[in-house]
Amino acid sequence: MTLAPSRIHLIDARSVFLVLVGWYVAVVVSFGLFLSTLSGSVPNGCGEVCDSERSRALLFGLYTATPALFLALLVSLAMLAVLVARTRIRSSVLLGSLSAVLPLAVCGLLLASL
């Protein structure tokens, strides 16, 4: 008589990945909400040389934050693989959050220092 492994101890990789992606979606949505609060008008008397606050933030997001977010995603995926293989944590929410929050925090600190 063979005993099958308990389903409680198995990690559902799909749910861990969805938690990880959820953190990144939350960052992108919050940046979009931040963009909606900025003014889209160009200051008076500036001419064609100046940009609006919204366009400067959008260019920053496009050329600086997007590559940093992609690099953080790669680090998160590597951390997720290590955490799944090396730890005894079996909570999908905890594993996905641990693998996403640290690279996102480091990415945010580096971008804030620019």
pLDDT for residue 9? 47
Q: What angle do CA 107, 98, 20 make, to 5 degrees?
A: 75
Average the pLDDT over 55-84 and give the result. Answer: 91
Residue 111 phi/psi, 5-degree rounding, is -70, -35
Per-residue confidence band for 67, with pLDDT thresholds at 50, 70 and 90: very high
Separation between Cα atoms, residue 75 and residue 83, nearest integer Å: 12
Average the pLDDT over 55-78 and give the result. Answer: 91
The residues, any chain, with a CB within 8 Å of residue 111's CB and separated by 6 or more, are 64, 65, 68
What pLDDT, in 10s, does the model give residues 82-103?
A: 888 888 888 889 999 999 999 9
Q: What angle do CA 64, 67, 72 make, to 5 degrees?
A: 120
DSSP classification of residue 47: T
Q: Give the other-Cβ count within 10 Å of 80's Cβ.
A: 20
Average the pLDDT over 16-30 and give the result. Answer: 92
